[in-house]
Chains A and B, each alone.
Chain A
Amino acid sequence: MSSIITSGSQWSELFKKEDWWSIWIGLGLLLTAVLFFSSGSSIGWIAVIPAKWHALPDLGFQLVANAPRYLAQFVLWTAMFGLAISFLKISFKEFFGSFLFIYIISILVFALGQWDQASYYNLEPPLVALALGLAIANLTRLPKWLESGFRVEFYIKTGIVLLGATLPFTLIIWAGPVAILQASIVSLTTFFVIYFVGKRLGLDRRLAATLGAGGAVCGVSGSIAIAGAVGAKKEHAPISISIVIFWAIVMIFALPLISKELGLPTGVAGAWIGTSEFADAAGFAAAQTYGAYAGHVPGIEGSAEAAVNAFTLMKVIGRDVWIGIWALVLSIVATTRWEETGVAGRTNYGEIWRRFPKFVIGFLVASLAVTAISRGYDFAAYKSNVVPHLVDPIKNLRTWAFIFCFFSIGLTTRFSDFAKAGAKPFYAFTAGVVVNVILGYILSTQVFVDFWVKLGQQ
C-alpha cells in the first residue's frame, strides 16, 4: 500500500543534522580562507601541521615553538564542532574533554607520520590512528562521557567538504561520469549478489536488502537508510552494520597492502578502494594511506592526492549520492511486493532528497568556489600564490579532520559490543565482498585503467 503525502517544512534540518553542520563548518572555513587570501594574507598560521623531522629533539623544538598555533587551532575546532554538538543536543562539557583527548593524540599521530622514517616502518597516520584507537577501545574501558567527541561521520563529512576546495570542479566534471558508470556496475552487481545469496540462504527480504545496500552503496549509512526505508526488523540494521564494519576494517588494511604489492598507480588504487571499500571513513583511511606511498615506495606512480581524489569521485559521486534513489525504489518494492508487516508505506519522490547525503552539496560548492577563484590566475601564479596561501591551509585542516575521524573509528569499534550477526547474513555479505573486490579490481586496473592512470598524473 502506498500513497502520496506532501512533506512539511524541512528547514529545521539545517541545524539538526550533522550533514548540514559539516557544510557550515567546511564552507565557513573556506570563506574565511578566501577573505584572508583576498586581503593578501592567509589562514596558514592557524592551519599548522607538524613539519617533517628527523630526530626527537627536532620534533620537541617545533612543537614547543608552535604551541600557540596548536592552541589556537584547538580553540577553533572546539568552537566550531562544539556549537554544532550543542545543536545536536550532545553535552558540550563532555564533548570538550573528549575532543581535547582526541586533539592531543592526533598531534602525536600526525607528528609520527612526519618522521622521515615513517614510510619505512608503515607508520602512516590513518593506520596508526586507527590501530591506536582500536587498542584503546578493546583493551581498556573508557568512561562513557569520553565518547561524546568520537563523531566519526561528523569529522569525515567536514573533511570531505574541505576536500572539495582542493579538488578542481573541472576534474569532477571530467571524471564524474566514468566514476558513476564504474560505481553503478559494481553497486548493482554487489547488491543483487548479496540479496539473492541472502534469499537463497533463507534470510528475510528486508534483511537481505539492508545487507545488500550496506555492501553496494555506502556501508553503515546504506544499511541504516535502507533498513528504515523498507521497515526492517529492529535487529536487522545492527546485524548489517556489524558485518559492514568488520569488512570495512579488513579492507582498510587489505586494499592498500594488496595495491602496494601489485604496484598500482595511486589513481588506480584510489578508484579500486572507492569501488570496493564499504564506508567513507574507512575508504579515506585506506586511500590516504596509499597516497602516502607515492614518492616513498619505489614503483608506485602518480601523485599522493590522486588516491584520495579517485576514491572521492568513485565513492562520494559514484555511490553515496544515489542512496535516496535506492531507498525510494526499495521502499516501493517493500510496500507493494514483499510480505505485509502491518505498516503502510507512504513513499514519494521527496524520499530522494530527504535521504540525500547533504554534505556532498558542501563538497561541490567548495570545489566550484576554489575553481572559480583559480581561473583568475595563470598556472605559475596559481602554484606560487593560490596553492600555498589558500589551498594548502585548507588541505592541512582537512588532514586534521581526517585524523580525528580515523582515531574515532578505532575508539568506537569495540568488537565485543557488536551484534551477533549469525552465519547466514555473514555468508551473504561475504559473497558480495568477493564479487565486489574482484569486479572493482578488474574495472579499475583493466577496463578503465587508462582513465585512472591519467587522473593520477594531473
Chain B
Amino acid sequence: MTDLQELQKRQCSNCRFFNNNPADLEGSMVGLRVMGSGHSSVVSNDGICENLDRYLSGRYSCDLYEDKA
C-alpha cells in the first residue's frame, strides 16, 4: 500500500468514531432540517467524531484513528 493509499484509508470517514449518517446528523444538529439538510451537497462527507466531539470533514485524520469493525 502506498503512503497516499495509507493516508486515504486512515481518514475520518473510515474511522469507527466517525458518523456521517444524514439522519443522525439531522437528529443531533437541531435546526439543520429547518432550512438545511443532512442530505445536501454542501455537507459533503462531513460527520461527527464521537471521540473528539467535533464536526469535521471525512477527509481529515488524527492519531486516534481506529478502523470500523
Chain A residues packing against B (C-beta within 8 Å) = 3, 5-6, 8, 13, 16-20, 88-90, 147, 150-154, 218-225, 227-229, 231-234, 236-238, 241-242, 244-245, 248, 279-282, 323, 331, 341-347, 351, 354-359, 409, 412-413, 417-419
Contacts and interface: CB of A to CB of B under 8 A. Distances in A.
Contacts, number: 171
12 contacts: A3-B7, A5-B7, A5-B11, A5-B59, A89-B23, A219-B35, A221-B35, A241-B30, A279-B35, A346-B61, A347-B59, A357-B40
Given A357-B42, A417-B30, A343 B62 contact: yes
State the 10 A-B residue pairs at the shortest beta-carbon distance, nearest first: A228-B46, A220-B36, A153-B37, A231-B56, A279-B35, A241-B31, A19-B41, A225-B42, A18-B39, A343-B62
A241 B29 contact: yes
Given A5-B4, A225-B42, A341-B54, A151 B37 contact: yes
Contact of A234 (B22, B48, B60): B48
Given A153-B40, A231-B60, A323-B42, A245 B35 contact: yes
B35 A153 contact: yes
Contacts of B61: 343-344, 346
Contacts of A233: 53-55
A348 B42 CA distance: 16
B31 A234 contact: no
A354 B40 CA distance: 11
Contacts of A238: 29-32
A233 B29 CA distance: 12
Interface in B17-31: 22-23, 28-31
Q: Is the interface of A mostly helix, strand, loop or mixed?
A: helix
Interface of B: 4, 7-8, 11-12, 22-23, 28-37, 39-46, 48-49, 52-57, 59-64
Nearest to A13: B41
Given A218-B42, A343-B49, A351-B44, 20 more contacts: A5-B59, A152-B35, A153-B36, A220-B32, A221-B42, A223-B36, A227-B55, A228-B44, A229-B57, A232-B56, A237-B29, A280-B35, A342-B52, A343-B54, A343-B56, A343-B60, A345-B57, A354-B44, A354-B45, A357-B40
Given A153-B35, A153-B36, A245-B34, A90 B41 contact: no
Contacts of B45: 354
B30 A224 contact: no
A271 to B, nearest CB: 21
Contacts of A413: 34
Contacts of A341: 52, 54
Nearest to B4: A5
A58 to B, nearest CB: 36
| B12, B56, B62 pick with most chain A CB within 10 angstroms | B56
Given A5-B7, A89-B23, A17 B60 contact: no
A160 to B, nearest CB: 13
A346 B53 contact: no
A88 to B, nearest CB: 5
B42 A345 contact: no
B40 A19 contact: yes
B58 to A, nearest CB: 9
A248 to B, nearest CB: 6
A419 B34 CA distance: 13
Contact of A219 (B22, B36, B46): B36
A225 B55 contact: no
B59 A346 contact: yes
Contacts of A281: 35
B29 to A, nearest CB: 5
A209 to B, nearest CB: 13
A345 B60 contact: yes
A152 B57 contact: no
Contacts of B55: 227-228, 231-234, 236-237
A242 B40 contact: no
Given A343-B61, A418-B30, A419-B30, A224 B43 contact: yes
Contact of B8 (A5, A223, A228, A357): A5
B2 to A, nearest CB: 11
B66 to A, nearest CB: 14
A331 B57 contact: yes
B60 A412 contact: no
A221 B35 CA distance: 8
B23 A357 contact: no
Contacts of B32: 220, 224, 237-238, 241
A152 B7 contact: no
Given A17-B41, A18-B40, A418 B52 contact: no
